[in-house]
Amino acid sequence: MTITSKNIDKGWAWVILAGSFFCLFLNGIMCYSVGVITEALLEVFDCNLAVTAAVGSAVIGIESLSGPFIGIAINILGCRTCTLFGGFVAMFGLVGASLSSNLPSTMGTLGIVTGIGYGFGFLPANVMVGLYFEKLRPIAAGITMAGAGLGMFVGPPLVRYLIDKYSLQGAFLVIAGIALHFCVCGCLMRPLKKDNRPSGEACISFRKRLLDKMKIRIGGRCSSSVWKNYGFLMYIFSIYGWNCAESAVLLHLPNYCIQQGSSKQEAAFLFTIMGVSNVLSRLFTGFAANDERVSSLILHMGLLGVAALFTSLFPLYSHTYGGQVLYVAALGMYIGGPNTLFTPIVFQLVDQEDLALAFGMVYFSVGIGYMSGPPIAGAIVDGGATYTESYLFAASMFLLSSVIMMVIPLVHNRDVHTVSTLNKKMSATKLSEETGEETCVMYGLTNSS
């Protein structure tokens, strides 16, 4: 069966949407279960909190840090091959984690190998949705991103049940089988071809143009303009603060709530509640950002500002399960939305020629934030403080991220205006029609998150 451009917004595009939604769902199961896994690792290996937290945060951190390299692999091998590779690597990493007898080996298998596998598993899904949808791209992107929120809804309680039923090692084996389903989704990712054009000729033309552009851009505009774009650099720092805080909160939440008197299952169920509000937040934020009268910068700032407020007050009412439920429901509503705003803000702050580098920097900042937040919060607790101080640290990082967004319009090196980018054709590079090559789309790529 030949998949051609006639399938844009219809036909096989809906199969791609279903497969991509499921890829992000699988990714969400792992990413939002790291807190439950960390709590179990503390029991098994009896190490200090900072070191143990580094293992869980490494899964999401490595996944994000490898984003630019996965993008290169997608250009060379295609989305289908990369997704299949990701499924197998994630499975091997989790099987290796089930056989690990100490924390360093768990870091290598669960943190690094599994993180790389999940990165290859979910990133091509975002690209495929962008290729197969044009007029309906905003809706398709929102549905796809909601898959990660559904993973938050299902993942932590499921992982907690598996640990209680089969132990941590057995749970890793079951999750390995679940991760292998990336391969099922990958088999659905058929390349999109232009009608009536020889693919070999298109590839040769594409590679020639790519080499020509690389020669022009090395030492040219693309290599320097982003680094002089102070508004975008401030956004990168804001992303770091946001993900540093979010990872610290999510990874330490189960252990903190158990210390406050909740059972392990109740602590895991909190993520289910957060998952519902997280999905709603991503969808509502997408609709809001689609309105030309709403600034994506202000929306991002407001969401993280409210998240800082709820997080700073959480220690005051965390001793009751009702207070914990209130917090996670509010937090899910305010940390889910900024994921939807990645693309509108990046398109607003950088020029089209710099999009590839800009998205790579965004992913790198997400990864650094996720890898540094939990160990810092864990070190605060290990140093003699309590979770109250660690959550105040997370609140301060949320607030810092929000304040930085206020400064961006003042330092940005060109006029910042609100644009309805979700209705625009979000393509990083569009080759001329005579090459017969498809548009390469960069849009809405997030952690998990």
- What per-residue confidence (pLDDT) applies to 85? 94
Tell me the Cα Rg of the chain.
21
- What per-residue confidence (pLDDT) applies to 36? 82
CA-wise closest residue to 36 among 160, 136, 140: 160
**Sequence ranges of the chain with CATH classification 1.20.1250.20:** 1-193, 226-419
Residue 429 sits at φ, ψ, to 5 deg, of -145, 125
Say whether pLDDT at 323 is over 70: yes
Say whether pLDDT at 217 is over 70: no
- pLDDT by residue (tens digit) across 339-392? 777 767 777 787 766 665 676 677 788 888 888 888 888 888 888 778 888 899
DSSP 424: S
Say whether pLDDT at 267 is over 80: yes
Cβ atoms of 444 and 145 closer than 8 Å: yes
- What per-residue confidence (pLDDT) applies to 31? 82
The whole-angstrom separation of Cα 350 and Cα 231 is: 9
3-class DSSP state for residue 436?
coil
Q: Which CATH superfamily is domain 1-193 in?
A: MFS general substrate transporter like domains (1.20.1250.20)
**Residue in the structure block whose two tokens are 């940390």:** 335
3-class DSSP state for residue 413?
coil
What average pLDDT does range 60-69 have in this prediction? 79
Average pLDDT of the chain is: 77
Strongest mean pLDDT among 195-199, 302-306, 336-340, 438-442: 302-306
What average pLDDT does range 89-106 have in this prediction? 90
What average pLDDT does range 206-213 have in this prediction? 49
- What per-residue confidence (pLDDT) applies to 215? 45
β-partners of residue 193 are 4
CA-wise closest residue to 82 among 91, 73, 90: 73
Q: Which of 138-152, 176-190, 272-286 has the lowest mean pLDDT?
A: 138-152
pTM for the structure as a whole: 0.68
- What per-residue confidence (pLDDT) applies to 403? 92
Instruction: Tell me which of 67 and 214 has the higher pLDDT.
Output: 67
| DSSP string for residues in 327-349 | HHHHHHHHHHHHHHTHHHHHHHH
Q: What angle do CA 85, 90, 94 make, to 5 degrees?
A: 150
First to last CA, the chain: 34
pLDDT band of 216, cuts 50, 70, 90: very low
DSSP 420: -
Q: Which of 56-60, 169-173, 359-363 has the lowest mean pLDDT?
A: 359-363
- What per-residue confidence (pLDDT) applies to 102? 86
Q: Which of 164-168, 187-191, 343-347, 441-445 has the lowest mean pLDDT?
A: 441-445
Cβ atoms of 383 and 254 closer than 8 Å: no
- What per-residue confidence (pLDDT) applies to 113? 92
Instruction: Tell me which of 289 and 307 has the higher pLDDT.
Output: 307
Q: What angle do CA 397, 399, 402 make, to 5 degrees?
A: 110
Q: Which CATH number fits domain 226-419: 3.40.190.10, 1.10.357.10, 1.20.1250.20, 2.40.50.100?
A: 1.20.1250.20
What average pLDDT does range 308-333 have in this prediction? 90
How many helices and strands (H and E) does the chain possess?
18, 2
Burial class (CB in 10 A: 0-12, 13-18, 19+), 233: middle
